[in-house]
Amino acid sequence: MSYLTGPPSLRAWLFTRDHKRIAWLYLITISVFFAIGGLAATLMRIELATPAGDLVQADIYNRLFTLHGTVMVWLFLIPAIPNTLGNFLLPMMIGARDVAFPRLNLLSWYVFSAGGLLVLWSLLAGGVDTGWTFYTPYSSTYTNSHVILMAAGIFVTGFSSIFTGLNFMVTIHKMRAPGMTWFRMPLFCWSMYATSLIMVLATPVLACTLVLIAAERLFGVGIFDPALGGDPLLFQHLFWFYSHPAVYIMILPGMGVISEIVPCFAGRPIFGYSYVAVCSMAIAILGFLVWGHHMFVSGQSIYAGLIFSFLSFLVSVPSGVKVFNWTASLYKASIRLETPMLYALGFVGLFTIGGLTGLFLATLAVDVHLHDTYFVVAHFHFIMVGGMLMAYLGGLHFWWPKMTGRLYNESLGKVSALLIFLGFNLTFMPQFLLGYLGMPRRYHSYPPEFQIYNVLSSAGATFLAVGYLLPLVYLTWSLFRGQRAEENPWGAHSGLEWATASPPPTHNFREPPRLEGQEWGAAPLLSSVRL
Amino acid sequence: MIEEQFEDLEQQQQAYSLGMWIFLASELMLFGGLFLAYSLGRFTHQTEFAQASLDMKRMLGALNTAVLLTSSTVMAFAVDRGEKGNWKGAARLLLITAFLGLVFLGIKGYEWHEEFLHFKVPGPHFQGDAGEQLFFFFYFTLTGLHAFHLSLGVLAVLTCAGLARYRPPAEGSPIMMLGLYWHLVDLLWFFLYPLLYLIGTRP
């Protein structure tokens, strides 16, 4: 009996402690938030199709990009892979029956949903116009929008991050099956561990920063507002101390997914397993030391800027190592271009462009020119959408047969993967040029000479929208009508999840798995499993 | 009782203990951000912070430090009894720990009340300049957050004491974990006390 055919009532789902069912609760919730954030982006792209401000005026536009940023970052990207695929796969990959604290896992979903509802409430109450970064003193003193409500929502969702991170770390440390050593774990588990470390240590700093903003608004104390004797740079330090590592919360899980898909469809173990594993940890640790590169033009000391610039270059090294490892795994391999692999290859290319343009921005002098332009927007969308979202969709397609026991329509899958890849490039490539030519971000109108790039970008966004809607249709259809999937439909060889039924039984394995034989690199993991 | 996701009791105990340590690391980062903001405030408003600190009731703060230190000592004994399987003794010591926690909160509440009466709560009625107001803001935020943690601790200790009396747990780990939490809350106060009460010098 599988976890899906257990008690089917709504009550059984809402009070479940099964990590696989909680993954579905998260999957549905974040899909709703993705649609809301996407809707805001659609309105913005329609507005930007013409130079004049005709669809919305500045105040509405400000609320739209704040909503888009806040919802996409905190309610979609941060939980996207860890709480859906991570929740579903992590215990199975290490051969455990569940995460270490199943009740805490369920609590994290309730806390997340409560925070999400607060954010939506702030939207219905009239929205926030500060941008997702809440820069002071505008957010703390001058704006009359609903900052406190939205900050409260993000504060609350932060706890769901901390709970999940704590849960995953303990699960990886203490719940591995006999014989599952650290360097035999699938690389996805390493990326989950690195992500969890950041969730646990960085999120509380965001929590206290949001409390300080609310306090400055409520009591008029001078913490961040220079007019009251405070320091706005303090806010930026505290905010980016969380929000830069948060970028790695968003991309590390994506790297983990790619490290599972690439070896499967290249038909061989990944090149340099231990380097990829260690690089995940290196990114997590170095990621804590680079926040100052957001503040090169904010009045930070030039010497601090130099050091932060150097450290930002340093963090690109482990990311580069990973790209080389994925590429080397493809060298002379017999590659199967099925849907998940198309997403994975898209990820590698787009992430490389996103990463390299990040180095432009980490260069002190170049950043003076590019700061706060569309170049920055294009850069982080290459990482977040071209990287993370591609990885998320790739992972969803890769593990969909495992999660549901059904196969989806492969040709529609390939069409939507290609559509998303092309649409993405059409949307965001022109934004690099726009930024280089000097168009600042966060404006609803612009001089006519920028129109051609904006029209291209808006056109690409329509392709993207179709590309995102297609999977919703054929994946939902496959839930009811899809062909039954076997245990291991892709012939994958790197994780224990493929050694159990599709969909898995409630306790994941009929008998606890034991691993025998050699270390990971020498033989594919599945061949050493005794169930 | 072993929960179904664990193989054996030892794994369960290790998981809970590691979970608590990770939680405490997360707590330190929460207070860490506030300590950073406090440090910058003190750096930019040195004289006002020192001046405002003179308004603190040092003796009450010292008394509270002693109360909390004693409660931690009692807690350490309770953990020891729990590990030896002496549930009655552990429960008695836990009750004393919770009582000392309540004494701390009482004294702290009295101090807050006094400061409220003397218009030291940040906001439109605050009496003092901007730097002093910032000091009192950090004072209320840090001691408030600390008292919130301590209140949760008292509730957890009372629950654990009650459970230990009527239904002794099969293993000592709940008391051990409570002890870890209690000591962290205690430790935070040892940083708060000098930072808030002792930075001014009387002329």
- CA-nearest of A211, A209, A180, A199 to A79 is A199
Interface of B with A (CB under 8 A): 3-7, 11, 14-15, 18-19, 22-23, 25-27, 29-34, 36-37, 40-41, 44-45, 122-124, 130-131, 133-134, 137, 141
List, in order, residues 6 or more apart from A320 with CB less than 8 Å away: A355
Give me the CATH number covering residue A265.
1.20.210.10
Residue A315 lies in a domain: yes
Closest residue of chain A to B19, computed from CA coordinates = A170
Q: Is the pLDDT of residue B2 over 90?
A: no
Q: Is the pLDDT of residue A521 over 50?
A: no
CB-hemisphere CA count at 13 Å for A147?
Answer: 26
Query: B78-114 pLDDT, tens per residue?
Result: 999 888 888 888 899 999 999 999 999 999 999 999 9
Mean pLDDT for all residues in chain A: 93
Residue B85 lies in a domain: yes
Which of A16, A18, A170 to substitute to test the interface with B, most B CBs within 10 Å? A170
Query: A270-288 pLDDT, tens per residue?
Result: 999 999 999 999 999 999 9
Return the pLDDT at B124: 85
Cite the DSSP H helix spans in A125-178.
147-174
| Pairing status of strand A514-515 against strand A529-530 | antiparallel
Return the pLDDT at A511: 81
Nearest Cβ partner of A205 from B18, B33, B44? B33
Radius of gyration from C-alpha coordinates of chain B: 20
Give the structural domain span for A35: 10-530
How distant, in Å, are the alpha carbons of A45, A279, A337 from that of A237? 31, 26, 44
Q: pLDDT band at residue A517, thresholds of 50, 70 and 90?
A: low
How many CB atoms lie under 10 A from the CB of residue A428? 25
Q: Is the pLDDT of residue A180 over 50?
A: yes
Q: Is the pLDDT of residue A440 over 80?
A: yes
Rounded Cα distance between A42 and A27, Å, is: 22
Tell me which amino acid residue A132 is.
Answer: W
List, in order, residues 6 or more apart from A57 with CB less than 8 Å away: A444
Residue B202 lies in a domain: no
Residue A3 lies in a domain: no
Mean pLDDT within A76-84:
97
Q: Could you tell me the maximum CA-CA distance found in chain B, to the nearest angstrom?
A: 65
Domains held by chain A: number: 1
Give the structural domain span for B152: 12-197
Q: Which residues of A touch B18 (CB under 8 A)?
A: 169-170, 173-174
Q: Which residues of A touch B19 (CB under 8 A)?
A: 100-101, 166-167, 170
Mean pLDDT within A212-231:
88
Rounded Cα distance between A397 and A417, Å, is: 10
Return the pLDDT at A529: 62
Rounded Cα distance between A341 and A345, Å, is: 6
- Write b or e for each residue in A162-188: b if 16 or more Cβ atoms lie within 10 A of its Cβ, otherwise e: bbbbbbbbbbbbbbbbeebeeebbbbb
Q: Tell me the whole-structure pTM to 2 decimals.
A: 0.95
CB-count exposure of residue A253 (10 Å: 0-12, 13-18, 19+): buried
Q: pLDDT band at residue A523, thresholds of 50, 70 and 90?
A: very low
Mean pLDDT within A258-268:
94
How many CB atoms lie under 10 A from the CB of residue B47? 10
Domains held by chain B: number: 1
| Stronger pLDDT, A293 or B10, i.e. the higher one | A293
Q: Which residues of B touch A98 (CB under 8 A)?
A: 4-5
How distant, in Å, are the alpha carbons of A33, A52, A106, A161, A275 from that of A61? 19, 13, 36, 29, 45
Share of chain A above pLDDT 90, in %: 85
Residue B4 lies in a domain: no
Cite the DSSP H helix spans in B85-172.
87-117, 130-166
Q: Which residues of B touch A203 (CB under 8 A)?
A: 26
List, in order, residues 6 or more apart from A8 with CB less than 8 Å away: none
Which string of DSSP letters, residue by residue, matches A328-342?
A: HHHTT------HHHH
Residue B6 lies in a domain: no
Say if the Cβ atoms of A170 and B15 lie within 8 Å. yes
Return the pLDDT at A520: 47
Q: Is the pLDDT of residue B172 over 90?
A: no
Closest residue of chain B to A241, computed from CA coordinates = B33
Residue B7 lies in a domain: no
In the A/B pair of chains, how many CB contacts fall below 8 A?
A: 105
Give me the CATH number covering residue B61.
1.20.120.80
Q: pLDDT band at residue B128, thresholds of 50, 70 and 90?
A: confident
Which string of DSSP letters, residue by residue, matches A441-472?
A: SS-S---GGGHHHHHHHHHHHHHHHHHHHHHH
Residue A5 lies in a domain: no
Q: Is the pLDDT of residue A176 over 70?
A: yes
Residue B3 lies in a domain: no
